[in-house]
Structure 1
Amino acid sequence: MPFVTIDGQPLHFLDQGVGEVVVLGSSYLWDSGMWAPQIAALSQHYRVIVPELWGHGQSGPLPDTTHGLDDLANQVLALLDHLEIQRFSLVGLSVGGMWGARLALAAPERVRGLVLMDTYAGEEPAPTRQYYFSMLKMIEDAGSVPPPLLDAIVPIFFKPGIDPQLPFYQAFRASLATWSSERLRDSVVPLGRLIFGRDDRLAALSALDAGSTLVMGGEQDKPRPPSEAWEMAELIGCDYIGIPDAGHISSIENPTFVNDALLTFLSELPV
C-alpha cells in the first residue's frame, strides 16, 4: 500500500491505472472505498490517485500544522510532487471539492480539469455549522460515535427514504462505530471543525477556467443542495449536471450515471 510522509505524518493513497492522471478527493468520514465504482471505471483509461483524508482509511493523524482547507490542498500537491505528477484532473466530492477548488485556484497551471461534486465553496450556513459543531463536541466528549449519533449522522449522506439495509449504508454505519477515541479526538473531530468552520471562497470561483470545470451534485443531496451547486456553476460560468436518485455520496448511490458523466467530461478535455 503506498504511503508518503507529508507534514510529519503518513498519508495513504491508492494509485491505479495508467495514462493521464485523475485525482479523486473524498468526503469527510469516508475512506477511498466511496470511489470504488469510479476507480474501477476510470482506471481503464486513466491513472487514478486517491489520497485518504487524515485519520481516515489508512492515513495517519491530522498533522499539527493543518489549520485549514488550503493546507489540505497543499498536502495533496505535495503528494503529487512526490509522485512527479505535474498535471492532472481533479474530481472532488464534499470536502474533496472544497480543498479541490482552492488547489485549482492556487495552481491553475497544473489542473487539466476540475469536477466539483456535492460540495460548496462558501462558508457553512450558521445553523448547520452550529449543529455539526455540537455533534463534534458530543463525539469528542464520548470518545466514540454512539448509536443515537449514528442515527443522526448516517442518513445525512444519503437520499431521503433510502433503504437502511443496503450494504453500503450498513458498512458506513459500522465503520463509524469502530473508530477509536484517539482517532476521533486527534483527527476526525478537529478535521470536522476545520471543514465546517471554513471561510467563504465563492467570490474567487470566477477565476476558475469555465471550459475545464464541471459542477455536479445529487438531486436529493441534503447537506449540499442543488441550489448551492447552481450558485457555484453560475459564478464559474460552467456546466452543472444534476445526478438523479442520489444524495450526498452520489458516487455510490448512482455510480453508473456518475461514471458516464466523468468519462465524458474527461474525454473532452484538451490534452
Structure 2
Amino acid sequence: MPVAVIDGQPLHYIDQGCGPAVLLGSSYLWDRTMWAPQVEALSQKYRVIVPELWGHGESGQLPPRTQSLEDLARQSLALLDQLDTPSVNLVGLSVGGMWGARLALLAPERVNSLVLMDTYLGAEPEATRQYYFSLFKMIEEAGAIPEPLLDVIAPIFFRAEIDRESALYQNFRQSLRDFPRERLLDSIVPLGRLIFSRKDVLAQLPRLDRDTTLVMCGQQDKPRPPTESAEMAELIGCSLILIPDAGHISSRENPDFVNEALLTFLANHA
C-alpha cells in the first residue's frame, strides 16, 4: 500500500483505478477491507482512494495533536493535496461520514458530491456516549479487548440476524481480538473518545448542496438508526436511501445494493 506522512505519522491508503476521484471514508474499528466490494466495482470507472484510519490496518498511530473530527477532515485534505487531487466525490460511512461532512463544510470546492452512509452529524446521545466510554475504560484496564467484550462489540456492526459463523462476522471479531495493546492505548481508544464526544453540527447541514448530497442507511443499523439519517436528509433537503438486509456496515452486508446505488449516484454527479 502507498503511504503519505500526515502530521508526522504514516497514513496508508488504497489508490486504485482511473477517472474522477472517489474518496471512501471508513468506519471506526474497520480497515480497508470494509470497502472491498466497492473498490472492485467503482475502480472500473473511477479512481478510488481509501485512507485507513489512524491505528487501523497499516496506518500509524493517532497524531498527538488530533483532537477533533475537524482534525480528521483537515488530515484528509492534506492527503488529497499530497496526491495532487483538487476535488473528490466523497463517500463516508460512520465516522467517515462524520469527518466527510465536515470536510465538505470546510472546503466545499474540494467535494463534487457527498454520500453520507450509516452516520450522524449530531452529538452522540449521552446514554450511548457514557456506555461507549465505559467500554473504553475496560479495554484500557485490560490492555486488550477482553473475550466477553468481543461478543458485545462485534454484533453492534451487523443486522440482528447475521450468521455469527459467517466469514464476515468471524473475521471482524478476530480483527478486534488481534489489536495490539500499544495500538489500543495510543490510537483506538483515544480515537473512539474523540468520535463519541464530537460536537453537534446538524445546524450546518443546510449549507451542504442538496442536489449533490445523498444519505444512505442500513434498515437495521443499530448504532446509527434510520431515524437519524432521515433527520439529516430533511435538514439537507436531499434524498434518503434505506439499504435492505443491512446493519451498520452496509457496504459489506448488502454490497450489491450499495454498489448499484453508488454507481447510479456517481454517474449523475461525478
Q: Please name the residue that 2:221 is paired with.
A: 221
Q: Deviations over 1:72-120 (max 9, x none)?
A: 0000000000000001100000000000000000000110100000000
Q: Please name the residue that 2:137 is paired with.
A: 137
Question: Shift of residue 138 of structure 1?
Answer: 0.5
Query: What TM-score do the two structures reach when normalised by structure 1?
Result: 0.99
The SS at the match of 2:138 is: helix
Partner Cα distance (1:73, 1:192) in 2: 16
Partner Cα distance (1:88, 1:249) in 2: 22
Q: Tell me if 1:15 matches 2:21.
A: no
Partner Cα distance (2:177, 2:18) in 1: 36
The SS at the match of 1:215 is: strand
Partner Cα distance (1:6, 1:167) in 2: 33
Matched residues, number: 270
Question: Shift of residue 201 of structure 1?
Answer: 0.4
Residue type matched to 1:127 in 2?
A
Residue type matched to 1:60 in 2?
G
Partner Cα distance (2:215, 2:66) in 1: 27
Partner Cα distance (2:68, 2:148) in 1: 29
Summarize the alignment of residues 91-110 of structure 1 with structure 2, pairs less than 5 Å apart.
91-110=91-110
Q: Please name the residue that 1:125 is paired with.
A: 125
Q: Please name the residue that 1:43 is paired with.
A: 43
Partner Cα distance (1:129, 1:161) in 2: 25
Partner Cα distance (1:128, 1:159) in 2: 18
Q: Please name the residue that 1:70 is paired with.
A: 70
> Any stretches of 5+ residues in structure 1 without a counterpart?
none
Q: Please name the residue that 1:206 is paired with.
A: 206
Partner Cα distance (2:234, 2:190) in 1: 32
Identity %: 68
Q: Please name the residue that 2:178 is paired with.
A: 178
Partner Cα distance (2:166, 2:80) in 1: 35
Q: Please name the residue that 1:169 is paired with.
A: 169
Question: Shift of residue 161 of structure 1?
Answer: 1.7
Partner Cα distance (1:182, 1:265) in 2: 40
Residue type matched to 1:78 in 2?
A
Partner Cα distance (2:140, 2:189) in 1: 7
Partner Cα distance (1:152, 1:255) in 2: 24
Q: Tell me if 1:52 matches 2:56.
A: no
Q: Tell me if 1:261 matches 2:258.
A: no
Partner Cα distance (2:19, 2:99) in 1: 24
Question: Shift of residue 162 of structure 1?
Answer: 1.0
RMSD: 0.5
Q: Tell me if 1:86 matches 2:86.
A: yes
Q: Deviations over 1:194-217 (max 9, x none)?
A: 000001000000000000000000
Partner Cα distance (1:178, 1:226) in 2: 31
Query: What TM-score do the two structures reach when normalised by structure 2?
Result: 0.99
Residue type matched to 2:5 in 1?
T
Q: 4+ residue runs of structure 1 moved beyond 4 angstroms? A: none
Partner Cα distance (2:15, 2:146) in 1: 34
